[in-house]
């Protein structure tokens, strides 16, 4: 079983004011940018899995896809990944899998598909992820993870 991670960024997306993500004002200016991450477990050739992602999950005109586990963007303070809890109804995931099951010529067999919303946060000063977790994620239906910027090497 092989695994493929694909992060999709919008070609026309720009950073927005992070105050849009929280309910109360922030102490210091911060910006954010959203991306989507797909984690696919499959059987078949990697090139066929990448072709599936490009054909089904990416708008070739408006989006770009980055394969591999490293973040697509740099310069962030941290990023917040969140998605549906296992067992929760994820309509986007179900629609993608229904489309896959209805395809005539399948070059890969999908064992699992995980959709993750990623929010990159950018700030000069200290920015605490707890505030964004509390205001963005719903603990009843979401799981989440925070990844801080690397302190050594490139971010």
In a domain, 32, yes or no: yes
Segment 120-143, tens digit of pLDDT: 999 987 788 999 999 999 999 999
In a domain, 86, yes or no: yes
Alpha carbon distance 48, 59 (integer Å): 17
In a domain, 47, yes or no: yes
Segment 104-125, tens digit of pLDDT: 788 899 999 999 999 999 998 7
Q: How many helices (H) and strands (E) does the chain have?
A: 3, 7
Segments forming the whole domain that contains residue 39: 2-148
At 5, is the secondary structure helix, strand, or coil? strand
The encoded tokens of residue 95 equal 């629609």
How many domains does one find in the chain? 1
In a domain, 155, yes or no: no
In a domain, 153, yes or no: no
Query: pLDDT-based confidence at 153, cuts 50/70/90?
Result: very low
In a domain, 154, yes or no: no
Average pLDDT over residues 45-66: 95
Q: Is residue 151 over pLDDT 70?
A: no
In a domain, 18, yes or no: yes
């Amino acid at each position: 079983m092989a695994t493929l991670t694909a992060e999709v960024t919008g070609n026309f997306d720009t950073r927005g004011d992070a105050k849009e993500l929280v309910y109360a004002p922030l102490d210091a200016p911060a910006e954010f940018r959203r991306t989507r991450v797909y984690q696919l477990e499959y059987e078949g050739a990697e090139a066929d899995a990448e072709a599936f992602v490009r054909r089904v999950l990416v708008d070739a005109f408006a989006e770009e896809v980055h394969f591999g586990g490293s973040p697509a963007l740099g310069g962030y303070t941290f990023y917040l990944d969140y998605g549906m809890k296992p067992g929760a109804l994820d309509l986007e995931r179900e629609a993608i899998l229904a489309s896959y099951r209805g395809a005539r010529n399948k070059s890969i067999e999908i064992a699992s598909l995980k959709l993750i919303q990623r929010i990159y946060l950018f700030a000069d000063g200290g920015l605490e992820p707890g505030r964004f977790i509390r205001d963005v994620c719903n603990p009843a239906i979401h799981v989440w993870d925070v990844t801080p910027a690397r302190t050594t090497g490139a971010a």
